[in-house]
């Protein structure tokens, strides 16, 4: 499900896209984010990634470019914990505490990084990456290192919340990794992009959505 704050954040970035923007939907779930993107930007070329095989099977019948992949820091295989259908949006590469309530099945899934996929598809630019991976946010961003180094990714949206406790990562980890490549972190507050730093961030694990970019925008 896509929320209004997701839509507003994406629309803030749209003026900086190319004519046929490349959009990565990482953790595509049922495709609602891509549906929104195609509604507001029909010219967008969308790549969807979803390691839940049942969800992938439905996505591939609807969208042109869909992969049954978990996106992380490298290529290979990892264990993916799949929740039952009514809670499948909680599935994760990390074993989460909430799984004691929901139940889960552990399966092996193929993994790839954004950098490897960019080479595979000969992508010179990615306009926007949406990440919804239930705790694996840092892994995805680390796997963008080469593209970020060359400023070939304009915007990266990622989530923050209690999943970071399960994955044993900190928000500041992402700030530090991104800053190496000249990317700043922003939060949309009252329709204005406000920079988030180590000094002004409150680490309370509240659910929030943030934006990484090297572009000056408000």
Q: How many domains is the chain partitioned into structurally?
A: 1
Mean pLDDT, rounded, for 164-172: 93
pLDDT at 16: 96
On whether residue 107 sits in a domain, the answer given is no
HSE (side-chain half, CA atoms, 13 Å) at 169: 24
Q: CB neighbours (10 Å) of residue 76?
A: 11
pLDDT at 160: 95
Residue 66 — pLDDT band, cuts 50, 70, 90?
very high
Please say whether the beta carbons of 78 and 147 come within 8 A: no
Tell me the per-residue pLDDT of 5-48, one tens digit each, with 9 for 90 and over.
Answer: 999 999 999 999 989 999 999 999 999 999 999 999 999 999 99
pLDDT at 1: 72
On whether residue 60 sits in a domain, the answer given is yes
The C-alpha atoms of residue 81 and residue 54 are separated, in whole angstroms, by 13
Residue 218 has pLDDT above 80, yes or no: no
Domain that holds residue 155: 4-73+115-213
pLDDT at 217: 80
**pTM recorded for the entire structure:** 0.96
pLDDT at 194: 94
pLDDT at 216: 87
pLDDT at 128: 98
Q: What is the CATH number of the domain that holds 174?
A: 3.40.50.150
Mean pLDDT, rounded, for 103-124: 96
On whether residue 47 sits in a domain, the answer given is yes
On whether residue 31 sits in a domain, the answer given is yes
């Amino acid at each position: 499900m896509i929320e209004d704050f997701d839509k507003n954040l994406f629309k803030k970035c749209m003026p900086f896209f190319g004519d046929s923007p490349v959009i990565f939907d990482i953790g595509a779930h049922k495709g609602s984010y891509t549906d929104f993107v195609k509604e507001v930007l029909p010219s967008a070329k969308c790549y969807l990634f979803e390691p839940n095989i049942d969800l992938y099977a439905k996505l591939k019948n609807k969208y042109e470019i869909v992969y049954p992949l978990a996106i992380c820091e490298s290529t290979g295989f990892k264990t993916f914990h799949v929740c039952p259908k009514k809670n499948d949006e909680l599935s994760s590469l990390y074993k989460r505490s909430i799984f004691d309530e929901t139940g889960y099945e552990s399966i092996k899934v193929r993994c790839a990084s954004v950098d490897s996929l960019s080479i595979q598809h000969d992508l010179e630019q990615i306009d926007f990456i949406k990440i919804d991976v239930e705790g694996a946010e840092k892994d995805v961003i680390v796997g963008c290192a080469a593209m970020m180094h060359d400023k070939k990714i304009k915007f990266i949206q990622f989530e923050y919340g209690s999943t970071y406790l399960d994955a044993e990562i900190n928000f500041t980890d992402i700030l530090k990794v991104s800053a190496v490549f000249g990317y700043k972190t922003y939060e949309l507050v009252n329709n204005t992009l406000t920079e988030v730093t180590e000094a002004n961030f409150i680490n309370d694990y509240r659910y929030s959505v943030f934006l990484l970019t090297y572009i000056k925008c408000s």
